[in-house]
Amino acid sequence: MTNYPIGGQSIGSPLFSLPLQQAVIASVDASSPTRIAPMTETHVTRQLAEWIAAPRDLADLPSSVRDEGVRTFFNWLGCAVGGATHETADRALAAIRLFAGPAQASLPGRSERLDVPHAALLNGITSHVLDYDDTHLKTIIHPAGPVASALLAVAEYRPVDGRRFLEALITGIEVECRIGNAVYPDHYDRGWHITGTAGIFGAAAGVSRLLGLDVQRAAWALGLAATQASGLREMFGTMTKSFHPGRAAQNGLMAAFLAEAGFDSSERAIEAPRGFANVLSTKQDYSQILGGLGEIWEAALNSYKPFACGIVIHPTIDGCRQLRHEYGAEVMAGASAVRLRTHPLVLELTGKTEPRTGLESKFSVFHSAACALLRGDGSPTAFTDEAANAPELVALRRKVTATTDTTIHEDQVAIEVDLADGRTVTRFVEHALGSIHRPLSNEQLIEKFERQAEPVIGKTSTSNLMEMTWRLPELADAGKLAQAAAAPSTRAMAAAAE
């Protein structure tokens, strides 16, 4: 397997591990010349817009941030191609095509083309539907979904080189994660899906940067994003969960284009008494938005999922796979009981005991434990309708119990399995695979990309696409990535048109 080099490994943070995050942040080169005025609560939106519009080049960013930006986009594109043939994408496209405009943008993993806003919507759906995308672990935001989905749709319509594309991607991710920091966890606890609500700001900021909007228009774009922020956690386990980053991409994109046309909005949309932060959250920490902006980078703290499900289940899958590897699938199949001790958030988010569909099973720690013990699987094949209803998996997951323990961190789990011969085997996972302590390497990202993309666009096209994506900053036309990621018939038509 080819190892495409890019400097450094992931410095994505573990779930809420603040001391280590601070150590990582301190190691990031703070060489950016961009600075902001002292923060006041009455000018948060305006000052954020000033940073979005400020003169800045990719070279001004620390190398670790640039490299993580490439890894983020690489991971996102593999997920978008991999999710393109999911039934959710088929159903979404069937509805979208009834009203779609001119064919302006290619779709990763699909042969169809759509108008730019609807392409952004579908990109967000396909990249998130497998729940295999990136995660900003401090907020559980999936950063690339809204931002990359919008930017790639725009890139064919408004051609842009890879350097500008990558800088816009990092800008958008930085904005959405900082806004997420300002309201998390209260905002999330109220039931908002933060990838949708904060993600729309990222899409608006990224596209504003790509379009070169001035401060006034960037502020309007943020206001237009704020008034559309939505997404409910009630939708987890349904097709609508992936609709959230899709709609955030589409609406954030349109916010930037409306602002470019002079469509105004409030310039205090984030911090006003009836603005985003005060209406949608009981916590408003505006220092998290502007403090250290351009010096400390949330975009450098991204992480990438090794398993295609809710991030809080990852320690359980990791530990159960280790037990299966050590004792064998047959021994695990004969288990009389499986006991999990987890952080309370695990059952809050993934406590579905009897999932009926593949999408529901992504939010069942019981299903995930059984599948990992019996099949050693945490990839998308572990979370299909077939797997959710497989008799042997159903039988074992009904033997899985889980209790909460506040001394267990979100990145940990304690597992006990009672075997048929009377033994009890145990495993404690200190840090799950994919965390900052055990980040996915470039090689592992490549393997993940190949597993998703090869069944959709073929081995040769996948290899070519990966090579192009690693070279994102060198590309003269970033929109070519969308064409290279599309199903073969679209690429053939595009080549013939040229």
| Residue from 178, 165, 176 nearest 212 by CA | 165
pLDDT of residue 488: 85
Say if residues 162 and 212 touch (Cβ distance below 8 Å).
no
Percentage of residues in the chain having pLDDT higher than 90:
89
H or E stretch at 424: strand 424-429
Looking at residues 133-138, what average pLDDT do you find?
96
| H or E stretch at 81 | helix 63-82
User: Could you tell me the pLDDT band of residue 39, with boundaries at 50, 70 and 90?
Assistant: very low
Burial of 116 (0-12, 13-18, 19+ CB in 10 A): buried
Give the pLDDT confidence score for residue 490 in this predicted structure: 53
**Has residue 40 got a pLDDT over 80?**
no
Give the per-residue pLDDT at 118.
98
Helix axes 44-53, 162-183, angle to 10 degrees: 160
In 212-357, where does DSSP find H-type helix?
215-226, 240-260, 276-280, 287-290, 314-327, 329-333, 344-350
Whole-number pLDDT of residue 42: 78
Beta carbons of 116 and 104 less than 8 angstroms apart: yes
Residue 437's pLDDT is what? 87
Q: 180: part of which helix (H) or strand (E)?
A: helix 162-183
Q: What is the pLDDT of residues 85-121, one digit of tens each?
A: 999 999 999 999 999 999 999 999 999 999 999 999 9
Dihedral angle, C-alpha 235, 236, 242, 248, nearest 10 °: 60
Instruction: Output the pLDDT for position 492.
Output: 53
What are the residues whose beta carbons fall under 8 Å from the beta carbon of 379, sequence distance 6 or more?
A: 307, 308, 451
pLDDT bucket at 22, cuts 50 / 70 / 90: very low
Instruction: Tell me what percent of the chain is helix, strand and coil, each rounded to the nearest 5.
Output: 55, 10, 35
Residue 142 pLDDT class (50, 70, 90 cuts)? very high
Q: How many CA atoms lie within 13 A of 249 on its CB side?
A: 32
Q: Has residue 16 got a pLDDT over 60? A: no
pLDDT of 419-472, one tens digit each?
Answer: 999 999 999 999 999 988 899 999 999 999 999 999 999 999 999 999 999 999
pLDDT at 256 > cutoff 70: yes
Mean pLDDT value of segment 396-414:
96
Q: Per the structure block, which two tokens stand in for 225?
A: 């994003």
Instruction: Please tell me the predicted confidence (pLDDT) of residue 495.
Output: 52
Calpha distance 290→1 (Å, rounded): 42
Question: Sorting pLDDT into bands at 50, 70 and 90, what band is 489?
Answer: confident
| 468-488 residue pLDDT tens | 999 999 999 999 999 999 998
The mean predicted confidence, pLDDT, of the chain is: 92
Does pLDDT of 27 surpass 80? no
Helices (H) and strands (E) in the chain, counts: 25, 8
pLDDT at residue 25 is higher than 80: no
d(CA 96, CA 82): 20
Instruction: Average the pLDDT over 35-39 and give the result.
Output: 41
- Overall average pLDDT of the 8-33 stretch: 38
Least confidently predicted of 42-46, 82-86, 372-376: 42-46
pLDDT of 31 higher than 70: no
pLDDT digits (tens, 9 = 90+) for 151-194: 999 999 999 999 999 999 999 999 999 999 999 999 999 999 99
Predicted pLDDT of residue 207? 99
29 pLDDT above the threshold of 80: no
